[in-house]
Each structure stands twice: as structure tokens, then as C-alpha cells.
Amino acid sequence: MLGHWRTFQVFSLLVFLGLGGCASWFSDDSLDPAVHLVKVEVVRAKLLEQKFILHFRIDNPNDSDLTVRGLEYRIHLADMLLAEGEHEHWITVNPKSSAFYNVPIRTNLWPKVKEVVKMLKNPNQQIPYRLEGEMETGLFIAHYVHLARNGVIIPADLITE
């Protein structure tokens, strides 16, 4: 019995030491992609529901394909939460190139209409926005890229004539 136990210990040690090299199979020295919010398209703006499409550009700085599996987002307009949610859509970004990723969002600004009217009083005044979230990448094993972007929008630029 003691001989079996010793054999098991030696075998376990060899497996443990041997599997240490397997971790390098999954190590990833690739750079995180850059994600930019390039456009906010107003699809429909009614009293109780507003629909937008967020146009993101994803830059892949690596020498291999980048598979994007989805995006979880929170968008703040000034200090107000405009929208949050998830968009699960797979795309592949070729090496050393960019691709666009469009996310449809729906929101209801009616409960915050006073704040919105105050922000829109001067349509040429810049309104700060903040985008936070995570982009899920990877074909077999998920990798999460944290997003945190700040910028400004000018309401007059979104109003179509």
C-alpha cells in the first residue's frame, strides 16, 4: 500500500510539473484593442422612447485576428445615466486593421426631461459624456477589455435639418 502511495505522489508531482508548461499555451502577449466611439446616430426620438446607434471603431494592433464577442456598456450624459446594457454580436477584426461595431440602444429620458432640457438649452454647448464597460474578445477563451472613455457631444451636430 505504501508503494502505491509513493508511486501516486511521484506521478502527481510529474503531472504537476509537466502541466506548468501547458500554461504557456494559453498565455497571451497580444495588446488590447483600442475602442473609439466615433458616432452617435439618432434613429428615432419620441417622447417616451429614444433609439440610437452607437458606432464604435475597434483597432486591432496585433498580428492575428481579433474576435469580438460582445460589449457591455454604460453611457452617462453629464452626470445622468443615459443607457446601459449588453450587445452580443460577433465580428472579426483583421490583423493590424480596424472594423466598425454598431450597438443599437434604447432609452427613456422622460423621467429626466428637466435635466435634458437644461442641457439642450444651448444646442451649441458641449455636453460631456462618459462610456464605461467591457468588451469580450477571444475565440475559445474569453478575454475582457475594460473600456473607459470621456468626450463631449454638441447637440446641434445631432439635429438633422
Residue 131 dihedral angles phi and psi, to the nearest 5°: -110, 125
- pLDDT tens-place string over residues 114-130: 888 888 888 888 989 89
The answer to whether 155 and 91 have CB atoms below 8 angstroms apart is no
- pLDDT tens-place string over residues 52-81: 998 999 999 999 999 999 999 998 988 899
Using alpha carbons, list the distances in angstroms from residue 82 to 45, 137, 141, 155. 14, 25, 31, 14
- pLDDT tens-place string over residues 21-36: 444 344 457 889 998 8
C-alpha cell at 156: 446641434
Measured in whole angstroms, the distance separating CA 38 from the mean position of its chain's CA atoms is 14
- pLDDT tens-place string over residues 74-114: 989 888 998 899 999 999 999 999 999 999 999 888 888 88
pLDDT of residue 63: 94
* pLDDT at position 1 over 80: no
**pLDDT grade, residue 145 (50/70/90)?**
very high
The answer to whether 123 and 159 have CB atoms below 8 angstroms apart is yes
Instruction: Calculate the average pLDDT of the chain.
Output: 82
- pLDDT tens-place string over residues 5-14: 556 565 555 5
